[in-house]
A = this chain, B = another copy of it.
Amino acid sequence: MANIPKNTRVGKNTVIEEGVKIGENVIIGHNTVILKGTQIGNNVEIGSNCVLGIQPGSNKRMRKISQNYSQLIIKNNTKIGNIVSIYLGTLISENVFIGDHASIRENVSVEEGTVIGRAAIVELNSKIGKNCTIQTLAYVTGDTTLEDNVFIGPCVSMSNDKYMGAQNYRLKGPYIKERAKIGNNSSLLPGIIVGENTIVGAGSVVTKDLGSNQVVAGVPAKKLKNT
């Protein structure tokens, strides 16, 4: 069992593996699992039935993944809901909020003040800027970048594999620039760039790079006007 500061509240049946580090004034729910390598800052809140510090795995049909990750870092004042899973090799900064049922893979960084919604998923190797909002059930694929203040609506879908497993293609997710907003249930194709301040309407399918300061919508998404 890890060394737990006296002012930390840990719920019942919560498993904290050897070598976990926990800061001051931390609250952890019941039946949560905190695996070795997890480092938790001060004033962090974690709900019940979470699994934190997961080591990546795969089968032989999946891309090779590193198993050399040794740390999951969760910084001060961050709140993590219930039934959340987060991998080793990832950094969650200060004042982040992560909703229930969310999942965050390895080699991800989530910067200060960002909100990751309920059941949202962030895949491996993605960079999420400051003060972003990723809403409920949104899917951030692997190898994606969100700059600061990006808004990803509920149920937005992204992909990073142009050939859907068929070719030896370098996987590349979308790159979404500052203050862009993606409407609910839109689909973004692999490697798509969305410019600053650009707004994508709900249910759009974005098949080409989008410049800055545009409003686009439709299948495929077309420019409607400037912002």
Contacts and interface: CB of A to CB of B under 8 A. Distances in A.
Interface of A: 11-13, 15, 29-31, 33, 35, 45, 47-51, 54, 57-62, 79, 81-83, 85, 95-97, 100-101, 103, 113, 115, 118-119, 121, 123, 131, 133, 135-137, 139, 141, 151, 153-155, 157-159, 164-166, 181, 183-185, 187, 189, 199, 201-205, 207, 218-219
A157 B139 contact: no
The copy count of this chain in the complex is 3
Contacts of A60: 95, 113
Contacts of A219: 203, 218-219
B100 A85 contact: yes
A103 B118 contact: yes
A49 B31 CA distance: 8
Contact of A181 (B57, B164, B203): B164
Contacts of A154: 139, 141, 157-159
B157 A185 contact: yes
Nearest to A17: B30
B133 A151 contact: no
A183 B218 CA distance: 17
Contacts of A103: 100-101, 118-119
Nearest to A119: B121
Contacts of A133: 61, 165
A83 to B, nearest CB: 6
